[in-house]
Structure 1
């Protein structure tokens, strides 16, 4: 029984390790050029806002996603709350990654990801610091000023990796307890 349990744990760790380790492929970023009007049409959400929270990278995400929470100032499209959370690819620019700084204001072009139903953005989306967005803001035209009275707080829930860890831990605990109980009954 002890050998079976050890073999099961080794198999579990090997499988988890293979699932979590990147496959070693490298991808180069190549963006399609478009102007602000085209980006407005193709984006799910377009707004200016200040980064008020910069989350950590998701541990089970091969794209190294990081959650950025914005305090929205002006909206052009798809804004449902004064505070919006957008997932950003935190990899380097060679992988279309984007790094945004806390307490800085940006013009954000985000799209709805079909896999997790969250807003996402990357280097090719056309995001730019508000300080450098003068011409782009002129092309977009007047947006709508956003206040807390317009919306409630957006709640995007937890990611699948959170549930994977919680449910995986519960299942592992159940297997260990079951094995311990079986072993005790076998002795008696």
Structure 2
């Protein structure tokens, strides 16, 4: 009886060992292989740019993200201004995280979040430094080289025309209120 218990426990430990320890290495992050043209089709925004600001780590539920602000050089898709901010997964590479360095230039593939309000990227997106992006850039073809003139001159992210509309609206409102007050005083 004692021998049967020992054999049963031994078999139990061996079986548990096979079930709990995988045969090969396990990776938490596994990316689907695709080339730059395929990534261009599936990404919301594709551009090359220099990291001009590297924000601090923010935690959203269980995700660690860092905001990267880029000065965009060349655009292929989804670029709305000369400066673009993309949230990057800031976890380690085992969790598909990326760390981009300030003053370095990258080819960025970004996607919109569920709300459609922010761009995100991660290790599987296909981001690579411009120095290592030769083959990907050939596959993408000629992008549009951007200058500030493509978006109009801006102050703190707003164009001159938007400031003109705001100030014009304020002046018009002041004129209308002044006229209304003047007419009321004239009647009394």
- Equivalent positions of 1:36-185 (< 5 A) are 36-115=36-115, 117-151=117-151
Bigger Cα Rg: 2
| CA 1:34–1:132: 2 relative to 1, 3 Å | same
User: How far has the Cα of 1:59 moved from its partner?
Assistant: 3.7
More displaced stretch, 102-111 vs 61-70:
61-70
Q: Does 1:35 align with 2:41?
A: no
Query: How far apart, in 2, do the equivalents of 1:78 and 1:53 lie?
Result: 20
User: How far has the Cα of 1:51 moved from its partner?
Assistant: 0.1
Q: Which runs of 4+ in 1 moved over 2 A?
A: 152-155
TM-score w.r.t. structure 2 length?
Answer: 0.65
Let me know the Cα RMSD of the aligned residues. Answer: 1.7
User: How far has the Cα of 1:55 moved from its partner?
Assistant: 0.2
TM-score w.r.t. structure 1 length?
Answer: 0.65
Count of aligned pairs between the two proteins: 129
Gap runs ≥5 in structure 1: 1-26, 156-188
Gap runs ≥5 in structure 2: 1-26, 159-188
